[in-house]
Amino acid sequence: MALKIVKGSIDRMFDKNLQDLVRGIRNHKEDEAKYISTCIDEIKQELKQDNIAVKANAVCKLTYLQMLGYDVSWAAFNIVEVMSSSKFTYKRIGYLAASQCFHESTDVIMLTTNQIRKDLSSPNQYDTGVALTGLSCFVTPDLARDLANDIMTLMSHTKPYIRKKAVLIMYKVFLKYPESLRPAFPRLKEKLEDPDPGVQSAAVNVICELARRNPKNYLSLAPLFFKLMTSSTNNWVLIKIIKLFGALTPLEPRLGKKLIEPLTNLIHSVLSLFIVKYLGLLAMSKILKTHPKSVQSHKDLILQCLDDKDESIRLRALDLLYGMVSKKNLMEIVKKLMLHVDKAEGTTYRDELLTKIIDICSQRAYNCLWYISILVELTRLEGTRHGHLIASQMLDVAIRVKAIRAFAVAQMATLLDNAHLLTGNTQRNGICEVLYAAAWICGEFSEHLEEPMATLEAMLRPKVATLPGHIQAVYVQNAAKLFATVLRGQEGAPADSTVAQETSQLLIDRLPLFVQSSNLEVQERASCILQLVKYIQKLQQKDVEVAEEVTALFAGELNPVAPKAQKKVPVPEGLDLDVWINEPPSGSESEDEGRKSKGKAVFAKDESRHTKPRYTEVDEKELAKRREVRKAEQANNPFYIKASPSSQKVRRHSVSKPNPSPSFSLRLWMPMSDQYVKLEEERRERNKADKKKKKDKKKREKGEKGRRRRGDSGPESEEDITPAHMVDIVTEEMPENALPSDDDDKDPNDPHKALNIDLDNCPLMDYQVVVSVIFENKCDSFIKSMEFNVLDSLNSKLQRPDGAGPHDGLIVPFQLPPGISNEARFIFSVQNIVMPQKLKGTLTFIVKTDDSSTHEKLDFKLHFTCTSYLITTPCYSDAYSKLLESGDLKGCSLKLEGVNQPFHHLLARICFHHHFSVVERIDSCASMYSRSIQGHHMCLLVKTADQTVSIDAKCDEPGLLGNVLDEIKLTFSQC
Amino acid sequence: MMRFMLLFSRQGKLRLQKWYTATAERDKKKMVRELMQVVLARKPKMSSFLEWRDLKIVYKRYASLYFCCAVEEQDNELITLEVIHRFVELLDKYFGSVCELDIIFNFEKAYFILDEFLIGGEIQDTSKKSVLKAIEQADLLQEVHTHTHHREKK
């Protein structure tokens, strides 16, 4: 023996250790595979030795090779051997290897149950630790079932090191063995208040994972989490909790209100990670949907966040502000935002800011004067990509709101006059887009211009030719409109006709520049108008008054089109929009050709070709649906960061030029909006005063009644602000068939579905099942000291006498001489009878022969079928029919084919094997009844015809029913 | 919950893999190969997050080594990034300015550290100190064992 050890250790000195292996592989880059195959041969030799140290070293090397992609599944048993070593050093390696290599279909896992249990209860916390760690990687449903109890015990271990691991592993156990959730939950909840912060955060993690899947079952924990959120200083935990509340708030709106305060505190605290701040803002935006008022009171704080140095926080805050804007605070918020625009760094953020401002205003602005001035102010933004957005808003407002046209036109004229400031660098400056709007507005509504001549002159400057083509085109066209207006003004005046002729001359001088444009549209329009003006000039020289006719060219007013206008147009009779205008081409040509060339046009294939497109269509629909669901989910998910649409566009040129706004332009760019804010305030005051007057009047009329109602006049509410101008603001409508995205269909295969267990009202009543076991001695020796033991599951426990430990066996109260049998009864307490289960057990006994006695062991399995929970109970037919009528029972059916036994045999079988009783029998049809130990009613209607038996069954517990039916099926398949 | 964590080099060599759900060997290989291709093909300026199959991938490059985690759709990418960084910090503390070679030659230690930090795909302890303390003590235990073992042999 000693020699063997020495031999082993000498061998070991020549063994490669892990470092040697790694080095070797690095040195054999060219023939790595060959080198490794020799190494594997060595390892195989090492594994054959008895020395555990050698084995562990070999397993360690295998783990490395496994990572390189080599198959090591053949060594699974050796891994178990190393796991079972009593030395921590080797055990650690064994478990590591197991966690890397084992998966659910690894057979040897079954052998590990007892070893793992032993390690879990080891006095050394590190043994327990590695066992838990390993288990977390390879836990199977069997292991979960068998070890759930042990792990649950560890959740209350004295060492926090073990407690926190056990708590986290429990989640894995729940996933593999959902039945364990209910009994383990109270303890898990306890851990939320564990004195050790690690354990606490572990419990938070697990509950967050659970709650995220089935939030409604965890609402009752909200107060506890609320407490944690206000007291915890661990940012990691805070993140999880905020996340959890994100899932809970939609279910319990009252939570939102309570959350505001602590969330604000979190944002305030300088210590917070930026992530927490970010999440806080996100959570607030969720609360905003249900409790806008409570968030609005934190406006200042959110505005402060706009100054944060982190861009994502600024963007979040911006989002939030966007949601908070109301008619009342619109001006104030936009004013603040405008200040930020000036300071803002980074084009992405600035662009975002700009779009948000426009978005906010376009939805809610009711003072259009103010809005136009805001838009004009925005045009001085350098290098923004959203020029077209501003432009379209300007057009929108000017077209829709008649009352402000004069003002808009004046503003636009100034813009046109100062166009050179905007067009400093047309290539990179998207802002020149606003000139498009400016030119069009000045042209279309030229009657409002104070100095049309000056504007016309500004529009025909040579510099205009550097603008993008589509803008030039608008310039040219609108110059013509302006020209008409100018002519009308000049001809109406008694002044001499030369002035009008000079105007024509101006156009004739300037337009040729545009006629040479490379842009088709500019050129076409310019040459057309040039000819027109030349003709006009001829007429003018003959002293003909032309203004009327020129104006007629552009007569007619442009009205905004109602969004539903198209819908209201009736479809002309005889027009069917669903009919093909041309027959669609059949199939793709290339496919046809391909088939022809192969010459294998088979009918079957032909058919599949026709059906195929339909399938893809369904798929596409399905995909679209899924995409929608996903989007909705993402939209509701605060942790999903959407790619901002603007960031996807890539700017083509990023050459930065010096700021082209020289000092003389300062006066022009003075924030005009401010003065409108003031005006607006005055207007509101006036309105209020007017109302007050009216009210007073009313009050006087109403006398007593009015006085009583005085108290509720309260602060100015939103409705009190009347819009300054009538605006048709179009709100977007949802399509009629749009569905609320709340109940996103859950994946039926989701493993977490099984964890949807209502934890608040669990029936903790235990039911007893008596198991009678017949022991028969078939050998020639005397058997004594039998000890019967069953491994408890969470659901079923062997009832042991008081004072016995949970793993103690029960002594069988008799001895067995050879050839004798006897019966012993054991009582099990069962919680849940819906599922069948198998309990593992062992019987230990002493076999006594004449000269010696040996201790032996017998493993067995106790199969608790669902049938075994049924008790034969008679039932009268009237009670039976009442039961069926009650509608509480859920149905299920079963068909058995090829049963060729007489009907009464069949019934007898069901009665005998499955504890049913016959209620009534008519010919080949019978109704049967049974009851479970928990009082579930189970009714069967059995019919037979042509060797086929159909069973329609009903029960108030569908799970139980399904399992009983499966068992009945099994009974008949065995006969 | 984190599904798995991979460490691989710029050259596409796997240095560490940890799977928090039992996965068949063949699937593991396929996923690792596919993911390495995807991640290695990405430019340095690109986002650290990407959607892959039904998972979200969060990765970060430290010197020549990519740390790559797959998390579920509901998980937060930012916190995963923090997890990666914390793991790197732990390695750094343990090995003393860690480099790729440390992880290659002491890969089992790297696993032990990871196992003390994450368990079953969840953070087990957020305190660097307590993680390192647990490792040190387990190492100490291992030392004692090896020592006694040597003595036995002598």
Q: pLDDT tens digits for B139-153?
A: 888 766 555 544 444
* Contact residues for A700 (Cβ-Cβ < 8 A; gap 6+): A706
Q: Which two tokens stand for residue A409?
A: 């036109």
A816 bridge partner residues: A783
For residue A377, give the nearest of A673, A133, A649, A686 by alpha carbon: A673
pLDDT at A713 over 50: no
Among A residues 942-971, those touching chain B with beta carbons less than 8 Å apart:
none
Q: Which of A20, A26, A112, A136 to mutate to test the interface with B (most CBs of B within 10 A)?
A: A136
Q: Where are the alpha helices (DSSP H) in A799-952?
A: 877-885, 903-914
pLDDT at B71 over 90: yes
What is the per-residue burial (b if ≥16 Cβ within 10 Å, else e) of A35-49?
bbeebbeebeebbeb
Q: pLDDT tens digits for B111-130?
A: 999 999 998 888 888 888 88
B22 vs A18, A137, A197: nearest CB = A137
**A158 φ, ψ (degrees, to nearest 5):** -70, -30
Higher pLDDT, B88 or A418: B88
How many beta-carbon pairs under 8 angstroms link A with B? 134
Confidence of residue A933 (pLDDT cuts 50, 70, 90): confident
Other beta carbons within 10 angstroms of residue A538's beta carbon come to 12
Alpha-carbon span A356 to A785, nearest angstrom: 84
Higher pLDDT, A310 or A197: A197
B1 vs A69, A139, A209: nearest CB = A209
Lowest mean pLDDT among A188-197, A616-625, A853-862: A616-625
Mean pLDDT of chain A: 75
Average pLDDT in the B32-57 region? Answer: 87
Higher pLDDT, A231 or A151: A151
pLDDT at A596 over 50: no
Instruction: Write down the pLDDT at residue A237.
Output: 83
pLDDT at A731 over 90: no
Q: pLDDT tens digits for A418-445?
A: 877 766 554 556 777 888 888 888 888 8
Instruction: Write down the pLDDT at residue A272.
Output: 54
Other beta carbons within 10 angstroms of residue A277's beta carbon come to 23
Instruction: Write down the pLDDT at residue A685.
Output: 65
Q: Which two tokens stand for residue A225?
A: 């989490």
Average pLDDT in the A830-837 region? Answer: 81
Q: pLDDT tens digits for A777-819?
A: 888 888 888 888 888 887 788 888 777 777 788 888 888 888 8
**Contact assignment for A92 to B17 by CB distance below 8 Å:** no
Q: Which two tokens stand for residue A153?
A: 């015990």
Q: pLDDT tens digits for A680-689?
A: 666 666 666 6
| CB neighbour class for A181 (10 Å; exposed up to 12, middle 13-18, buried from 19) | buried
Nearest-neighbour CA in chain A from B119: distance (Å): 6
Q: pLDDT tens digits for A482-491?
A: 888 888 887 7
Could you tell me the CA-to-CA distances from B134 to A234, B124, B130 in Å, in that order? 20, 12, 6
**Contact assignment for A136 to B49 by CB distance below 8 Å:** no
Instruction: Write down the pLDDT at residue A959.
Output: 85
Confidence of residue A718 (pLDDT cuts 50, 70, 90): very low
Among A residues 166-225, those touching chain B with beta carbons less than 8 Å apart:
168-169, 171-172, 197-198, 201-202, 205-206, 209, 212
Instruction: Write down the pLDDT at residue B36.
Output: 93
Could you tell me the CA-to-CA distances from A680 to A331, A358, A411, A691, A727 in Å, in that order? 9, 19, 19, 16, 16
CA A974 to chain centre: 48
Confidence of residue A673 (pLDDT cuts 50, 70, 90): low
For residue A847, give the nearest of A876, A816, A821, A806 by alpha carbon: A816
Among B residues 56-75, those touching chain A with beta carbons less than 8 Å apart:
73-75
Instruction: Write down the pLDDT at residue A59.
Output: 92
Identify all chain A residues contacting B80, using CB atoms and an 8 Å cutoff.
Answer: none
pLDDT at A502 over 70: yes
**A933 φ, ψ (degrees, to nearest 5):** -65, -20
Average pLDDT in the A346-373 region? Answer: 76
Average pLDDT in the A398-426 region? Answer: 79
**Contact assignment for A136 to B119 by CB distance below 8 Å:** yes
Q: Is A70 on the interface with B (CB under 8 A)?
A: no
Instruction: Write down the pLDDT at residue B145.
Output: 56
Lowest mean pLDDT among A238-247, A446-455, A564-573: A564-573
Residue of B nearest to A234 (CA): B126
Q: pLDDT tens digits for A217-229?
A: 888 888 888 888 8
**Contact assignment for A278 to B78 by CB distance below 8 Å:** yes
Nearest-neighbour CA in chain B from A104: distance (Å): 6
pTM: 0.49
Lowest mean pLDDT among A77-91, A412-426, A522-536, B69-83: A412-426
What is the per-residue burial (b if ≥16 Cβ within 10 Å, else e) of A776-800?
ebeeebbbeebebbbbbbbbbbbeb
Q: pLDDT tens digits for A199-221?
A: 988 998 898 888 887 888 888 88
pLDDT at A510 over 60: yes
Confidence of residue A656 (pLDDT cuts 50, 70, 90): very low
pLDDT at A720 over 70: no
CA angle B38, B44, B46 (to 5 degrees): 70
Instruction: Write down the pLDDT at residue A414.
Output: 86
* Contact residues for A850 (Cβ-Cβ < 8 A; gap 6+): none
- Whether A384 and A346 have beta carbons less than 8 Å apart is answered as no
pLDDT at B97 over 50: yes
What is the per-residue burial (b if ≥16 Cβ within 10 Å, else e) of B46-66?
eebbbeeeebbbbbeebeebb
* Contact residues for A200 (Cβ-Cβ < 8 A; gap 6+): A191, A192, A193, A194, A228, A232, A237
Q: Which of A89, A105, A241 to mutate to test the interface with B (most CBs of B within 10 A)?
A: A89
Identify all chain A residues contacting B138, using CB atoms and an 8 Å cutoff.
Answer: 88, 92, 126, 129
Instruction: Write down the pLDDT at residue A859.
Output: 86
pLDDT at A766 over 70: no
Higher pLDDT, A630 or A6: A630
Question: pLDDT > 90: what percent of chain A?
Answer: 5
Lowest mean pLDDT among A618-632, A836-850, B9-23: A618-632
Lowest mean pLDDT among A17-26, A127-136, B43-52, B113-122: B43-52
Instruction: Write down the pLDDT at residue A654.
Output: 40
Element (DSSP H or E) covering residue B71:
strand B65-71
A133 vs B25, B115, B152: nearest CB = B115
For residue A680, give the nearest of A300, A296, A411, A328 by alpha carbon: A328
CA A136 to chain centre: 26
Confidence of residue A593 (pLDDT cuts 50, 70, 90): very low
